[in-house]
Amino acid sequence: MKNLPLILSSVLLIAVGILYYLHFSGNKAHDSSTGSSASTVPSDIKIAYINSDSVLKHYEYLEVNRKTLEEKTQKLEQEFRNRAQGLQNEIGNYQRNVNNLTLSQAKALEEDLGKKQQNLQLYQQSLSQQLQEEEGKLNKELYDRITNFLKKYGAENGLQLVLKYDPTSDVLYGGEALNITNDVVKGLNELYKEEKKGPKTDSVATKSK
């Protein structure tokens, strides 16, 4: 879970860059056929940027689902610790009483403890894989949500390029007039709130039933 913010930040970078790719890959196709870039690149390119850290911090969907994932991680980790402690107790009990066992009894217990240790390792691997899949699913959903929102937002506002602006990006300066972070956060959260409300029901039809 420690790597989750970094993973999500990377996903956000891919999402905000998709408008750049879609726009300029199309321009390249035109360039190859006409041999002139001046006739395909508009002179009034509109550029904007978002602060990815702010989006990740204030996007309610991410906050809720990240908290859910963290709670699930803690629960699974506690289950693993309980199993590991139980096995450790069995090993300790064996070590304390090994001198009172026959050779065959000691061998049988050692084999049993060895199998339990292998099963515990497999269980740990299974938990790790499960959590990775959960993180991957959250990353994919985040990517889809931000990408879909930016496509619509870019089309409505005539944007050809949206940049990611934070200490790790290549953007060293951005004027506030180009900062659409608040609009993006607001729009994403409004969509999420509508989703949580669920489909509207016909109150009249409901009362008649």
User: How far is Cα 77 from Cα 70, in angstroms, rounded to an integer?
Assistant: 10
Residue 209 corresponds to which amino acid? Answer: K
19, 154 contact by CB (below 8 A): yes
Domain residues for the domain of 126 are 4-34+44-197
The first and second tokens of residue 23, run together, are 């726009």
Has residue 208 been placed in a domain? no
The first and second tokens of residue 6, run together, are 């970094």
Percent residues over pLDDT 70 in the chain = 74
- Answer yes or no: pTM beyond 0.85: no
Has residue 113 been placed in a domain? yes
CB atoms within 10 A of CB 162: 25
Has residue 39 been placed in a domain? no
Domain count, the chain: 1
pLDDT in tens, 95-125: 999 999 999 999 999 999 999 999 999 999 9
Measure CA 173 to chain center.
27
CATH code assigned at 193:
3.30.910.20
3 state DSSP class of 50 = strand
pLDDT in tens, 43-74: 578 899 998 889 989 999 999 999 999 999 99
